[in-house]
Amino acid sequence: MSINTATNPATGYIAIDQGTTSSRAILFDVHFAIIHIAQQPFDQHYPKNGWVEHDPEAIWQTVQAVTQEALSAAHSKGMQVKHIGIVNQRETTLVWHRETGKCVYPAIVWQDRRTRDICKGLKPHEQMVQSKTGLRLDPYFSATKISWILDNLPGAREQAEQGELLFGTVDSFLIWRLTEGRVHATDVTNASRTCLFNINTTNWDPALLSLFNVPASMLPTVKDCADDFGITTHFDAPLHISGVAGDQQAALIGQGCVQPGNVKATYGTGCFALVNTGTQCDINQHNLLTTLAYRIKGQTHYAVEGSIFIAGAAVQWLRDGIQLITHAADSEQIASDVDDEHGLVVVPAFTGLGAPYWEPSARGAIFGISRATTAAHIVRATLESVCYQTNDLLEAMSSGDIRPSVLKVDGGMVANSWFCQHLANTLSTQVVRPVVMETTALGAALLAAIQAGQLSGLDAIQNANPTECTFNPEGNDEQRQQRLAQWKQAVSATLLMAQHA
C-alpha cells in the first residue's frame, strides 16, 4: 500500500464506530495499525413486542466520551490527528428539531418491526420501490420509520411540513451535533438504505418521498464517502470529518473488496454479506438487495447484499437472555465438544427473517428437542444457524451468476475459530479472516485518508488488510447437504407459523 505522508502531516486517524449496542472510537496510526480502542455500551429499549429503540442522547454522550478518550490516547503517544471518519449502524432513524438539535422521539433501530403493517399496505408499489432503490418494502429501512414518527407524534407532521424538523440516519445526526448544526449531510451508502434514494440517479427521489409522505425539507445533503463533512470544534482541536459510510459498506472497504466479485460477510449483531458488483447498477431479482457500495471521487460502485438480522445477537441471547454461557468466548469450546449428529436446529428469527425470506412476522424456534438435549446442544445449534443463514445468502448470490469462491469475514463472531471452520464446511467455500478485525472502523479511516490526500483511491486500499488465517472446507458433503436440508425444513416450519402471527 503506497502511503503519501508528505501532503498530510497527520500521523493518525480516528474512526468513530457507532454501532447497535455500543459506541467506539478507534485510533489508527499512519499505516492503519490499531493503536487504541475506546468503547462504551448503551442500553437497548424494547417498549413493545418487535419494537427496538435507542436514546439519542445516550448515542451522543457515548460518542463524545470515546472520541475524547481516543484523542487523549493520541496525544499521550505524540500523535497528531486532524481527520476523522464516521461509520454507523444503518437504517436507524432519528428526527430532530432544526433549531435545538433535540430529537422528537427515540431513535427507531434498524431491527424494529413496528411498521410491518405500513409495509403491507404499500405492497402494490414494491416493484417501483425496488426498481428505484434496490430495496424491499420492509420495516428494516428508514422511510416507514420516518412516516411512523410523523404520524404518531402529535404535531410532528405539521412541524416537518413547515421545515422545522430534520431526518437523519445516525451518521447525519452525529455530523449535525459535531458541527453544532452547521452541516446536515450524509453519504451515498447511508442514503441508499432509506428507501427514499434513487440508486440509479443517486438522488433523493420525489416519487418515493410522495409514496412515504416524507417532506423533502427534512433530508440531508448527500455526499461521496470520502468528502468534506465539515469541521468539528467540539474537542480540544479542530477535526475534519473526512469519511462517512454505513457499517457494512465500510467493512467492504476495510476488507479491500474493491474489485467486482469480491465478497465479505460481517458478523456483528446481525450478519451482512456484500459482493462488489462494479459500476453498473443491476437490480437483484433473487430476494437480495442492491445497494451503493461506495462513491469515491465521483465514481459509484454497487453491491448486492444479503442481510441476516440475528448473528452475534444470538450469542448475546445465549449469554444474557437464557444464560447458557457466561462469556461469548465460551461458545467456541462448548460447540467443539458437541457431537456432530446432535439433531438440533435453532432458527434465530427473534426480529423476523431477513434475506432471502423477508418475513418480519417470523419468530425464533428450536426443532429436534429430546430428553437428551442439553444446554451445549443449544449453544452449538445456535452457532450453526448463523452458518446456515450465510449459506442461504450465498445460494441466492450464486443464483444471480455471482459465484464466490472465497468469503472474507470479520466482526466479533469470527474470533471464534470453530465458527469460522464450521462456516467453511457449511458453505464448502474458503473463509478468510483478516489481520485487522475492526474492518468497519478501518474502512472509515481509509476513507478519511483518501479525503486527506494520504491515499490516492481504491487501488491504494485493495491490500490494506492482509490475511491472518484461512479456513478451508472439510468434511463429508453428504452430511453437509443433510444438515442444510434439515435447516430448510426448520425454516419452512417457522415461516408457516409466521402466517398465523
User: Does the pLDDT of residue 180 top 90, yes or no?
Assistant: yes
pLDDT band for position 4 (cuts 50, 70, 90): low
| Pairing of the two strands 239-246 and 81-88 | parallel
Q: Out of 87-91, 236-240, 312-316, 465-469, pick the least confident.
A: 465-469
Place of cell 480502542: 37
- Residue of 36, 35, 32 whose CA lies nearest to 1: 32
Kindly report the number of other CB atoms within 10 A of residue 275's CB atom: 28
User: Does the pLDDT of residue 9 top 60, yes or no?
Assistant: no
Three-class DSSP category at 80? coil
> Per DSSP, which regions of 118-196 are E strands?
165-168, 185-187
Q: Out of 3-17, 113-127, 165-179, 416-430, pick the least confident.
A: 3-17
- In this structure, whether the domain defined by 11-223 belongs to CATH 3.40.50.2020 is answered with no
pLDDT recorded at residue 501: 59
Place of cell 442500553: 43
pLDDT recorded at residue 488: 93
| Pairing of the two strands 467-471 and 430-434 | antiparallel
Residue 401 gets the label, from left (phi > 0), alpha (psi -120 to 50) or beta, of: left
What average pLDDT does this structure show over 203-210?
96
- Residue of 226, 229, 254, 223 whose CA lies nearest to 241: 229
> Which tens digit of pLDDT belongs to each residue from 221-246?
999 999 999 999 988 889 999 999 99
Residue 115, beta-bridge partner list: none
> Which tens digit of pLDDT belongs to each residue from 367-411?
999 998 999 999 999 999 999 999 998 888 775 555 677 899 998
Say how far apart CA 217 and CA 219 lie, in whole Å: 6
What average pLDDT does this structure show over 451-477?
84
Cα 321 to Cα 130, 193, 314, 315, 380, distances in angstroms:
36, 30, 9, 9, 16
> Which tens digit of pLDDT belongs to each residue from 404-417?
778 999 988 899 99
Q: Where in the chain is the domain with CATH 3.30.420.40?
A: 11-223, 258-500
Taking the alpha carbons at both ends of the chain, their separation in whole angstroms is: 53
pLDDT recorded at residue 16: 97
Task: Indicate the average pLDDT of the chain.
Answer: 90
User: Does the pLDDT of residue 49 top 90, yes or no?
Assistant: no
DSSP string, 102-138: -BSSPEEPTT--TTHHHHHHTGGGHHHHHHHHS--S-
pLDDT recorded at residue 354: 82
Kindly report the number of other CB atoms within 10 A of residue 216's CB atom: 11
Three-class DSSP category at 234? coil
pLDDT band for position 167 (cuts 50, 70, 90): very high
Q: Are 165 and 95 in contact (CB under 8 A)?
A: yes
| Helix H or strand E encompassing 291 | strand 289-296
Q: Are 88 and 171 in contact (CB under 8 A)?
A: yes
Say how far apart CA 406 and CA 411 lie, in whole Å: 17
Say how far apart CA 432 and CA 470 lie, in whole Å: 5
User: Does the pLDDT of residue 452 top 60, yes or no?
Assistant: yes
User: Does the pLDDT of residue 486 top 50, yes or no?
Assistant: yes
pLDDT recorded at residue 164: 96
According to CATH, the topology of domain 258-500 is Nucleotidyltransferase; domain 5 (3.30.420)
> Nearest 5°: CA angle at 194, between 23 and 314?
50
Say how far apart CA 98 and CA 163 lie, in whole Å: 8
Residue 241, beta-bridge partner list: 84
Kindly report the number of other CB atoms within 10 A of residue 29's CB atom: 16
What average pLDDT does this structure show over 58-87?
95
Report, in this order, helix, strand and coil percent for the chain, each rounded to 5: 35, 25, 40
Say how far apart CA 93 and CA 104 lie, in whole Å: 11
Q: Are 447 and 297 in contact (CB under 8 A)?
A: no
Three-class DSSP category at 408? strand
C-alpha grid cell, residue 15: 474512526
Query: What are the residues whose beta carbons fall under 8 Å from the beta carbon of 402, sequence distance 6 or more?
Result: 261, 263, 275, 277, 304
| Helix H or strand E encompassing 409 | strand 406-410
Global confidence as pTM? 0.85
DSSP string, 450-492: HHHTSS-SHHHHTTSS-EEEEE---S-HHHHHHHHHHHHHHHH
